[in-house]
Amino acid sequence: MPAVKYILLDCDNTLCLSERLAFEACTDLTNEVLEKWGRPERYTVEQLLEDFVGHNFRGMLNGLQKKHDFTMSPAEVDAYVDRELGAVTAKLSEKCQPCPGAPEQLEALKQAGYPMSVVSTSAKPRVVASLKKVGIDHYFTDEHVYSAATSLNPPSSKPDPAIYNYACKQLGVKNEECVTVEDSKSGATAAMRAGIPLIGYVGVYGIEEGKEKMEEMAKLLTEQCKAHVIMYDWKEFPECLKKIEAL
């Protein structure tokens, strides 16, 4: 393909090590919901990550209702989404750290003249909190931080490709003229469905879960989500981008 016109980047566990922190903050709320609606099941952070990584809290609540057979009203969902956003944003503002090597590659992309945007499932205040705490918010203008949870009406969640389609339309580029970086099955599936060339980043799994999980995700993102190339470390990004631009 010709030179990429826009670099689209997931945030959670792609640019920022935010996913586990966020799930720590919402585990208590998740179990509160299950108790309130009379369900005996309870989740640990690890179990929530296994079942819902890549989903925002609204999507998680929808999934919980289907999985455990109960129904919340739209107002009840909204109230819990607001509570979760406050708790997660506070935690990320305090503790979030960058994915190793990501800030350096963003600087290199800026110097090379590539325009960049964040395209996330998570609510925008949470994304912005992560970017600011990590110190990379200056690479993205506010209007170029897109959130499936808060930029769309009605809200959505990856693997729905709606947020990618919306972002490309707002940026004035064709989907196939961009490249994106995703770490999760849901995010990678959204990119695939949107027809956006994908770099699958699996380095975070090596950091948090070990080599076996990292290789498992590399296989999944390649075989199921059609990632064009797998990136194990952000230092590999320039070569990954070259491979896509050479297609």
Give the integer Cα–Cα distance in Å for 123 and 127: 6
Residue 1 pLDDT: 58
Angle ∠(239,172,181) on CA atoms, nearest 5: 30
Which superfamily does 6-17+97-245 belong to? HAD superfamily/HAD-like (3.40.50.1000)
Of 199, 201, 202, 203, nearest in space to 228 by CA: 199
- 65: its two tokens: 């209702």
Could you give the dihedral angle defined by the CA atoms of residues 46, 47, 53 and 55, in that order, rounded to the nearest 10 degrees? Answer: -130
Contacts of 39 (CB under 8 A, 6+ apart): 68, 70
- Residue 206 carries which side chain, given as an amino acid letter? G
Beta bridge partners of 120: 147
Question: Within 10 Å of residue 13's Cβ, how many Cβ atoms?
Answer: 25
Amino acid (1-letter code) at residue 21: L
**pLDDT tens digits for the chain (247 residues)?**
568 999 999 999 999 999 999 999 999 999 999 999 999 999 999 999 888 888 889 989 999 999 999 999 999 999 999 999 999 999 999 999 999 999 999 999 999 999 999 999 999 999 999 999 999 999 999 999 999 999 999 999 999 999 999 999 999 999 999 999 999 999 999 999 999 999 999 999 999 899 999 999 999 999 999 999 999 999 999 999 999 999 8
Q: Give the residue from 124, 121, 153, 163 showing the smallest Cα distance to 141.
A: 124
Among residues 26, 17, 65, which one has the least CA distance to residue 45?
Answer: 26
DSSP H or E segment with residue 199: strand 198-201
Give me the residue spans of the domains in the chain: 6-17+97-245, 19-95
Calculate the dihedral angle through the C-alpha atoms of 221, 223, 224, 225, rounding to the nearest 10 degrees: 50
